[in-house]
């Protein structure tokens, strides 16, 4: 009989919940899915600690998600904290606030483990052609992970560069000048070049993008007024289209960006540095296009938990 479980991805920008029924083989069916932008990592780059307001927003979201998961009958809730939690000087305050609000403990993982679990989630959904090496990029709020492999992981790296950090370095709530856009692209290229010194895939390469930046760009490119996960996952966007969207979005202020169908409120500033990082990844790895995956760390949390408990590899039913 399937067991109902839940996973919560506690990111630097977004908190995401997945409730699923998982059977004895590791196959699972989605029951409920939600996400909320809380910007836990707000101010971390400048102060070394997250703000009290960000902790409250995040703890409130965890309280609601924990309650929903229990109401739906989940008998286990796995919460994983990433860049903002592991780097914050006040990590203990974050963990304590979540325990008080939600009655949940937080597993704080390092960047390499984050990359490995993200890989599990992405590869449960997106396959590459035989003989092709996948380079998966997970553009987060506080960190970005690059991981390469075929059937198995061959190399990975996690760097402390993400959209929230970059939004605090560049004035992305207003339109960027051409000089500022070039400077942001140079910073993104420098970050990806550091990643490429570690993650060296054997060509030919297919870039796969996960997290809010690639999925949002896919929704924008399709003109989706309502986000459609089924249409976004597997969507292929050319490198030229990614650069075009970067230039277009960076050239207007945050309020004007919200006029585009498919751009979620709360992401109108972060989409600019995110698009720069995705463009830079395609440039450095000479990718002609990016395949978008809506699955990533959140799904990988479930798969990893099952594999750890049973010694098997989880997968989505029907995949």
Domain 3-111+297-316 sits in CATH at: 3.30.420.40
Q: What is the tens place of the pLDDT at every residue in 148-176?
A: 998 788 999 999 999 988 998 999 999 99
pLDDT top residue among 279 and 45: 279
pLDDT recorded at residue 54: 95
Nearest 5°: CA angle at 184, between 201 and 155?
Answer: 15
Q: What is the tens place of the pLDDT at every residue in 217-250?
A: 999 999 998 999 999 999 999 999 999 999 999 9
Segments in the chain forming alpha helices (H): 44-47, 52-71, 83-87, 91-102, 111-123, 163-167, 178-196, 212-222, 229-232, 239-250, 254-257, 271-284, 297-310
Domain layout of the chain by residue ranges: 3-111+297-316, 126-293
What mean pLDDT do residues 63-88 have?
95
> Same CATH topology for 3-111+297-316 and 126-293?
yes
- The upper half-sphere exposure of residue 79, i.e. CA atoms within 13 Å in the direction of its Cβ, equals 21
Angle between helix axes 91-102 and 52-71 (nearest 10 degrees) is 40
pLDDT recorded at residue 317: 42
Residue 206: pLDDT band with limits 50, 70, 90? very high
Angle between helix axes 239-250 and 271-284 (nearest 10 degrees) is 150
Task: Output the six-digit token pair for 267.
Answer: 């992401």
Domain 126-293 sits in CATH at: 3.30.420.150
Q: What is the tens place of the pLDDT at every residue in 104-138?
A: 999 999 988 998 999 899 988 888 888 889 999 99
pLDDT recorded at residue 125: 86
pLDDT top residue among 207 and 318: 207
Count CB-CB contacts under 10 A for residue 286: 11
**Global pTM?**
0.88
Residue 319: pLDDT band with limits 50, 70, 90? very low
pLDDT recorded at residue 311: 58
* Mean pLDDT computed over every residue of the chain: 92
From 24-33, 136-145, 290-299, 304-313, the region with the lowest mean pLDDT:
304-313
Residue 310: pLDDT band with limits 50, 70, 90? low
pLDDT top residue among 308 and 301: 301
pLDDT at 89 over 90: yes
Percent of the chain with pLDDT over 70: 97
pLDDT recorded at residue 307: 76
pLDDT at 318 over 50: no
Distance CA 108, CA 41 (A): 14
From 9-13, 44-48, 110-114, 172-176, the region with the lowest mean pLDDT:
44-48
pLDDT at 313 over 60: no
pLDDT at 314 over 50: no
What mean pLDDT do residues 263-279 have?
95
Q: Do 121 and 298 contact (CB within 8 A), yes or no? A: yes
Give buried/exposed letters for 90-114 (b at 16+ CB in 10 A, else e).
bbeebbebbeebbebebebbebebb
């Amino acid at each position: 009989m399937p067991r109902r479980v839940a996973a919560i991805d506690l990111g630097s920008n977004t908190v995401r919940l997945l409730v699923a029924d998982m059977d004895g083989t590791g196959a699972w069916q989605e029951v409920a899915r939600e996400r909320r932008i809380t910007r836990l990592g707000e101010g971390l780059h400048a102060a070394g600690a997250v703000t009290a307001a960000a902790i409250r927003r995040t703890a409130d979201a965890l309280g609601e998600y924990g309650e929903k998961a229990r109401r739906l009958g989940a008998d286990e809730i796995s919460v994983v904290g990433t860049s903002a939690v592991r780097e914050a000087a006040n990590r203990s305050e974050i963990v304590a606030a979540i325990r008080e609000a939600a009655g949940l403990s937080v597993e704080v993982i390092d960047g390499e483990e984050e990359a490995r679990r993200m890989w599990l989630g992405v590869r449960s959904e997106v396959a590459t052609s035989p003989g092709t090496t996948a380079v998966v990029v997970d553009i987060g709020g506080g960190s970005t992970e690059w991981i390469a492999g075929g059937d198995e992981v061959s190399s990975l790296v996690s760097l402390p560069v993400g959209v929230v950090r970059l939004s605090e370095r560049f004035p992305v709530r207003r339109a960027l000048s051409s000089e500022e856009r070039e400077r942001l692209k140079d910073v993104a290229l420098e970050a990806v070049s550091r990643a490429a010194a570690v993650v060296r895939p054997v060509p030919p390469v297919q870039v796969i993008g996960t997290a809010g930046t690639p999925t949002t760009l896919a929704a924008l490119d399709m003109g989706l007024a309502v986000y459609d996960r089924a249409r976004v996952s597997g969507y292929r966007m050319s490198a030229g289209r990614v650069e075009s969207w970067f230039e277009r979005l960076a050239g207007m202020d945050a309020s004007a960006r919200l006029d585009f169908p498919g751009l979620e409120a709360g992401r109108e500033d972060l989409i600019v540095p995110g698009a720069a990082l995705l463009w830079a990844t395609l440039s450095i790895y000479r990718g002609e296009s990016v395949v978008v995956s809506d699955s990533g760390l959140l799904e990988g949390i479930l798969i990893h938990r099952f594999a750890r408990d049973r010694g098997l590899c989880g997968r989505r039913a029907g995949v």
